[in-house]
Amino acid sequence: MTSLFEHKPTTVAPIELLNNFSDLDNREFLDEYNKTLEILKNKIGEPYYANSGYILYHADNDDILKKLSDNYFKVDLTVTSPPYNIGKEYEKNMDTEDYIAWCKTWIDLIYHVTNDNGSFWLNVGYLTIKGKGKAVPISYLLWDKTDFYLMQEIVWKYGAGVTAKKFFAPRNEKFLFYIKNQKDYIFNLDAVRDKNVKYPNQKKNGKLRCNPLGKNPTDVWDFPKVTSGKNRSSKERTSHPAQYPLSVIDRVIKVSSHKYNIVLDPFSGSGTTGIASHGNHRIYIGIEINKDYCDLSIERFENYLNEKAEKSNTLF
C-alpha cells in the first residue's frame, strides 16, 4: 500500500515526545486509558480507532460533544484549531454571523464537557469580512462568546507565511487561553520554563535572580510554522492542509494538564494534538469529520509509535 504521506524518522519535534516512560507509568497510563475507553464505548459508541491512549471518532463533533455532555463525561483540556472560514478544502463557506454562531455552538459544548479545573486553548488566525476588514483576527470575533474565563491571548509568531504587497504579511496566529474556574486551574509553569536565560548566575542579595529552571516563556511564543512546498516543507508535514506544529501543542499540554489527564481535540485533522498528548502521557480523544484525514492521522500516529519503539530499542 502506498503511504498517504511521507513520514520519516526525525519528523517528531520536540524529540522528547519520543521518550519512554517507566513500566509503572506505562501500566498506570494504560489502566486510565482502558477505563476511559470503556466509558466512551458504553456511553458514546465504538470509536473509529483506539490504540495505546489514542481514541479517534470519525464524526461531526457536534454529535459526539452532545453525547459526551448528555453523559456528564468530562475532559481536562481541549486544544483545537477550527476551520477559519477562509475557503480551505475542508470548509463550508459561511457568512461571518453564521460562522460566529456555529463556533459558539461547539465552544458551549466544550464548556459543558470540561472539568471544573480544566482549560480550553483555541488557536485562530484571520479572516476577511467584505467591506469591513482584510485580515480581521478571529479572536476579536470569538473571545467573549463563551462562559469560559479568558485568561489571556498568546501570540504565536513564526517566520514563514503568505506574501503581501499592499499590507503587512501576517506572521502570527493567536491562542486564546481559557479556564473554567479562576480559583482552581492547572498551570504547570515549571514544566514549560524557557531555559534560554541570558545571565543565569546573576544574583541579588546572594540569591539567584532567575529561577534555575528558566524564565517564564511570556505571552509571545516563537515556534516555526508547519510549512509546505518543495525544498521548504517541514519534516513533520503531512498532506493535511492546516497542520499546527507539535512544539506549540506540546507546551500547551504540559502547562495545562497533568499526566493521565484527558485531552480533547474536536477538530483533530492530522492528529497533532493526539501525538503531543501521547508523548506527554495524556489520554487523547480526537473527533474528525473527514475520513481521509482520520486515516491519515492514524497512519501518522502508528508511524510515531514505531519511531518511539525504534528509539527505545537503540538504547539497549
Ligand X SMILES: C[S@@+](CC[C@H](N)C(=O)[O-])C[C@H]1O[C@@H](n2cnc3c(N)ncnc32)[C@H](O)[C@@H]1O
The verdict on 61 binding ligand X (CB under 6 A) reads yes
The verdict on 234 binding ligand X (CB under 6 A) reads no
Pattern 110-139, binding to ligand X, x per CB under 6 A? ------------------------------
In the beta sheet, which residues pair with residue 75? Answer: 114
C-alpha cell at 185: 486551574
The verdict on 293 binding ligand X (CB under 6 A) reads yes
Instruction: Please check whether residue 203 is in contact with residue 209, taking contact to mean a CB–CB distance below 8 angstroms.
Output: yes
The verdict on 272 binding ligand X (CB under 6 A) reads yes
- Binder among 11, 36, 78, 81 for ligand X (CB under 6 A): 81
Interface with ligand X by CB under 6 A: which range of 34-42, 68-76, 212-220, 262-270?
262-270
C-alpha 40/C-alpha 75 separation (Å) is: 12
Q: Which of residues 133-172 bind ligand X (CB under 6 A)?
A: none
Interface with ligand X by CB under 6 A: which range of 6-14, 16-24, 164-172, 285-293?
285-293
Interface with ligand X by CB under 6 A: which range of 27-35, 39-47, 66-74, 235-243?
235-243
- Binder among 48, 90, 111, 143 for ligand X (CB under 6 A): 90
Interface with ligand X by CB under 6 A: which range of 15-23, 36-44, 66-74, 267-275?
267-275
Nearer to ligand X, 29 or 106 (CB): 106
C-alpha 262/C-alpha 67 separation (Å) is: 16
DSSP the chain: ---SS---TT--SSGGGG----HHHHHHHHHHHHHHHHHHHHHT---SEEETTEEEEES-HHHHHHHHHHTT--EEEEEE----SS--TT-----HHHHHHHHHHHHHHHHHTEEEEEEEEEEE-EEEETTTEEEEEHHHHHTTSSSSEEEEEEEEE-S-----SSSPPP-EEEEEEEES-TTS----GGGG-B---S-TT-EETTEESS-TT-B---SEEE------STTT--TT--S-TTPPPHHHHHHHHHHH--TT-EEEESS-TT-HHHHHHHHTT-EEEEEES-HHHHHHHHHHHHHHHHHHHHHHHHT-
- Binder among 267, 284, 301, 304 for ligand X (CB under 6 A): 267
Pattern 191-230, binding to ligand X, x per CB under 6 A? ----------------------------------------
Kindly give the pairing relationship between strand 126-129 and strand 133-137. antiparallel
The verdict on 85 binding ligand X (CB under 6 A) reads no
The verdict on 277 binding ligand X (CB under 6 A) reads no
Nearer to ligand X, 32 or 303 (CB): 303
Q: How far is the CB of 248 from ligand X (least distance, A)?
A: 10
How many residues are there in the chain? 316
Nearer to ligand X, 64 or 262 (CB): 64
The verdict on 75 binding ligand X (CB under 6 A) reads no
Nearer to ligand X, 53 or 274 (CB): 274
- Other CB atoms within 10 A of residue 247 CB: 17
Give the residue closest to ligand X by C-beta.
269
Q: How far is the CB of 236 from ligand X (least distance, A)?
A: 9
Q: Which residues bind ligand X (CB under 6 A)?
A: 60-61, 81, 83, 90, 240, 242-244, 267, 269-270, 272, 287-290, 293
